Structure 1
Amino acid sequence: MIRSFPYRLYLVTDEAACLGRDFFWVVEEAIKGGVDVIQLREKNLNEEAFYLKAKSLKVICQKYNVPLIINDSVDVAKAVGADGIHVGQSDMSISTVINRVGDMIPVGLSLDYLEELYAEDANDAWYYGVSPIFSTPTKSDTRAVWGLEGLQALRKLTEKKLVAIGNVKVENAAEIIAAGADCLAVVSAICSADDPAHAAKALKKEIDRGLKKS
């Protein structure tokens, strides 16, 4: 089990955002460009298709020694030997996931509101996905956004690693890191880029710039 979370650039997959290009090519190019952790999130796949996709993606991640996180599905995560599971506030509770996997697989947790930090099992999270920092079309069910001020407030209240997601792009990457994020999670900024490797490199450069400002 991975106890630390040293990662800086986190790719959340979206087949549709790949714009018809080969999904696995996009992910591999992103890794070559500097993505250092992958979350497989494909809400529209049935469990068998999700498992098969995860199995193929695990091979690529192992090739580059990049951890694979599975969104929500405990069964798929266990079946492919995933390096982590991520759950949202409307998914299976983190305590339920931990009860099913024990110490085998660490679990990341989305925080949509500051109050969720104080939930009974929130402190068991591997990291917090701070969602969304800014409004984004890839998460249409959002009721509120954190903004930079909300992120700064959260940073003062926890030592857990904070993964910021929601309309993260090159233009705002440095300021999000400077506001307290440890890691940036992106979807379309890489998946839809003409050159996913170049997009990842550009984001990583901005992350480094933000760290110098923080």
Structure 2
Amino acid sequence: MEVDYRLYLVTDRDYLDDVELKDAVEQAILGGTTLVQVREKHASTREFYKIALQVKSITDYYNVPIIINDRIDVAKAVDADGVHIGQSDMPLKIARKMLGHDKIIGVSAGNIKEALEAQKGGADYVGLGAAFYTGTKKDIDKPIGIDGLKKICDEITIPSVAIGGVNETNYKDVLKSGVTGISVVSAILGKKDFKRAAQNLL
């Protein structure tokens, strides 16, 4: 599967007051979002499954890949295009065994060692971060910054997306580090006009 990593939206319903997630995702895709990850940290399995199905109906319609955060069971249940796993989630080798080789697997990496391990283990891409301090990740010791992104990108050959505090004021500098794309949450979902926010970033 040919994947466009340029503008990678990670969902967070906390930013949406009275807007349905699938409607927000549709507007973001109309604005140019190229990849969508459904992230649900507090939903029950059944609720996560229902939300993922709703979002998938939109991503399928617009032919945009859908990635499920962390939950391989949910990814398989809705036949998502792949999963994204963190350093404390299911090991990459097991995730690959469960999902097969035709699915996308992304791995979070905060340093060169983790990124190279992910690459060696067969990850399709790495999510590098946190690039900056961010409202969605409260437990960051120190962001890796532009220099950190560049150092990792110089060492790896697989695609990479920068995540964590990437927004309309810093994304151009972020892209100069060598990452394939940017991964955002509030830079789209925290805005009033999701479509325009995506267009501005693209």
TM-score by length of 2: 0.95
Where does residue 103 of structure 2 map in the other structure? 105
How far off is 1:117 after superposition? 2.6
Q: 1:155 aligns with which of 145, 149, 153?
A: 153
Taking the TM superposition and a 5 Å limit, the aligned residue runs for 1:19-168 are: 19-119=17-117, 122-168=120-166
Quick one: distance in 2 between partners of 1:150 and 1:115?
12
Q: In the aligned structure 1, how far is the partner of 2:157 from the partner of 2:99?
A: 24
How far is 1:102 from its partner?
Answer: 2.0
Given that 2:4 and 2:34 are in contact with CA atoms closer than 8 Å, whether structure 1 keeps it comes out as no
Q: Note the alpha carbon deviations across 1:113-151, whole angstroms, 9 max, x for none.
A: 222134377541110000111110101122331100011
AA aligned to 1:157 is E
2:4, 2:35 within 8 Å by CA — same for their partners in 1? no
CA contact (8 A) 1:36 1:67 kept: yes
Cα–Cα, structure 1 residues 122 and 191, in superposed 2: closer, same or farther, change >3 Å?
Answer: farther
* Amino acid aligned to 1:81: D
Letter in 2 for 1:64: Y
Whether 1:10 and 2:8 are equivalent positions in the alignment is yes
- For 1:144, the aligned partner's letter is K
The verdict on how the C-alpha distance between 1:118 and 1:179 changes in structure 2, with shifts beyond 3 A counting, is: closer
Q: Specify every segment of 5 or more residues in structure 2 that has no aligned partner in the other structure, as ranges.
A: none
Summarize deviations over 1:10-54 as a string: whole Å, max 9, x none: 000000012332222111110100101000001101111101111
Structure 1 unaligned blocks of 5 or more: 205-214
